[in-house]
Structure 1
Amino acid sequence: MATFLFDSIVFGPVSSRRLGVSLGINLLPVNRKVCSFNCIYCECGWTDAPSESREKLPSRTAVYEALRKKLSEMKKEGQAPDVITYAGNGEPTLHPAFAGIIDDSLALRDEYFPETKISVLSNGSMLHRKSVREALKKVDMNMLKLDSVMPGTVEQLNQPRNRFDLEKYEEYLKEFQGRFIIQTLFVRGECNGRHVDNTTPQEIEQWLLAIERIRPGQVMIYTIHRDTPLGNNLRKVPVSELNEIARRVNALGIATSVSG
């Protein structure tokens, strides 16, 4: 089934079901996906093998100029974005100048649209870098992935390129002291001849225990919405089930939103 890539540094603004009017920033190549995960549901498709030739990442200066140009145009048109979102063709925190780019974005935001929020959608795989953690502490919406806390399911669903230490990940999340948002995608289906389901009673119980330990400021619960690399082999989780999971998160005293 068809997936897609973003073909520029700045894209949109687009209407996001979770963020509102979002101006997107892509810190990765425009012709392929670069990511530390290879999630089976990713709308950008499969992650290229590490051995394949790599395209040059946009420079910090190029990102700054592209964002300044777009914000200037939107200012003249009286079109304010709700949020400037770092997402794009893979994992934004892989960019070596990520911390500096965030500083630039905050300065430009303050100059053009002080009320606009800065958000980063990340799988959290680069939190071992202190510079990444410090940069994420500065943004308004630090949105981090936690699809499962079961190692086997993480391997099956997210397919990390390198070892992903869930215990260490929890430690890094706690360092944010609640100033972060957890995003969890619930899905069922088949991959490589194996059943995948992160909504089983055991999955949900263990996930809820982790949510209680890390205490995020908010949890965003959702399911697949666009085409995935596996096509019809993956199935949406009914909104009624997502709402029940959200109810249990709310019972922990944590704000929750659901997107079906």
Structure 2
Amino acid sequence: MSTILFHEIVFGPIHSRRLGVSLGMNLLPYDGKLCSFDCIYCECGFNKDFRTKTKLPDRENVRAALEDKLLSLRREGITPDVITFAGNGEPTMHPEFKGIIDDTIELRNRYFPDAKISVLTNGMHLNKPEVFEALQKIENPIVKLDSALDKTVRLLDRPNAPGYSVAKQVERYKRFKGDFILQTMFVRGRFEGKEIDNTTEEEISAWLELVRALNPREVMIYTIDRETPAKELEKVPVGDLQKIAARVEGLGIQTNVAG
């Protein structure tokens, strides 16, 4: 199984389909994966296959690694568009997440003040006040909502919280009052003998109602781009993604399509 794990705290910059020249931040173990979802399309693999006993990097090490990289980029004449927290799982699980965001804002302002800060998150930890407060400080809190239907989320994203519900997540997202980016992975195929397709009319109609209620400033629509741990998944054609995007734009919301 081919997977992508990030073996450094700071990696790249890489060209992101959605964000431009992106300097990546990994607050999670370098030799495994730590996530509160276990998405069947995750490029880092299934949680069970990449368990780790490695400690998380502490705040001081993250700050030092980021400053060193920003100094190096400045010497090389490379300007990042964005500093993106993603890495080997869910970044908001780090117990020092809020302080790390504060450090990142300070260093960004010093070295590349025009760069934006993005966090890709499944939104599971927004119930923690310090996580929500940190995400309000950055330019791009990018939160996941792959389906409006609990049964689909449990098949596609596999949250590890027994009490997970889409309704609960939507209430958490409403606290942003529209000042956030919603991202949705569209995929088709099979997993463990079950059909998966979150592009059906039932799925899209229900999802659009939640998009309307949340009214995010942008919706990122994308599909798989790399090998996935579940082998029977299919990339959704870009034309189909564009049709979904047109319906979002009909709500007056900007969309970003990555096929």
1:174 and 2:186 matched = no
1:215 and 2:233 matched = no
What is residue 103 of structure 2 aligned with on the other side?
A: 104
The aligned runs of 1:200-211 (5 Å cut-off) are 200-211=200-211
What is residue 143 of structure 1 aligned with on the other side?
A: 142
Specify the SS of the correspondent of 2:255. strand
Would the aligned equivalents of 1:44 and 1:89 in 2 still touch at CA under 8 Å? yes
Letter in 2 for 1:251: G
What is residue 191 of structure 1 aligned with on the other side?
A: 191
What is residue 249 of structure 2 aligned with on the other side?
A: 250
Q: CA deviation at 1:137?
A: 0.4
Q: CA deviation at 1:48?
A: 2.9
Runs of 4+ in structure 1 displaced over 6 angstroms? none
Would the aligned equivalents of 1:147 and 1:154 in 2 still touch at CA under 8 Å? yes
Q: Deviations over 1:132-172 (max 9, x none)?
A: 01100011111000000100000000001113122221111
Specify the SS of the correspondent of 1:167. helix
How far apart in 2 are the matches of 1:17 and 1:197?
Answer: 23
Letter in 2 for 1:190: R
Specify the SS of the correspondent of 2:47. coil
How far apart in 2 are the matches of 1:119 and 1:101?
Answer: 13
How far apart in 1 are the matches of 2:48 and 2:179?
Answer: 32
* Structure 2 unpaired stretches of 5+: none
What is residue 13 of structure 1 aligned with on the other side?
A: 13
Specify the SS of the correspondent of 2:199. coil
Letter in 1 for 2:250: A
Question: TM-score, structure 1 length as denominator?
Answer: 0.97
Specify the SS of the correspondent of 1:176. coil
Question: TM-score, structure 2 length as denominator?
Answer: 0.97
What is residue 38 of structure 2 aligned with on the other side?
A: 38
Would the aligned equivalents of 1:34 and 1:48 in 2 still touch at CA under 8 Å? no
Q: CA deviation at 1:54?
A: 3.0
* Structure 1 unpaired stretches of 5+: none
Specify the SS of the correspondent of 1:48. helix
The aligned runs of 1:63-78 (5 Å cut-off) are 63-78=62-77
Letter in 1 for 2:230: L
Seq. identity, %: 53
RMSD (CA atoms): 1.2
What is residue 160 of structure 1 aligned with on the other side?
A: 159
Letter in 2 for 1:151: D
Specify the SS of the correspondent of 1:29. coil
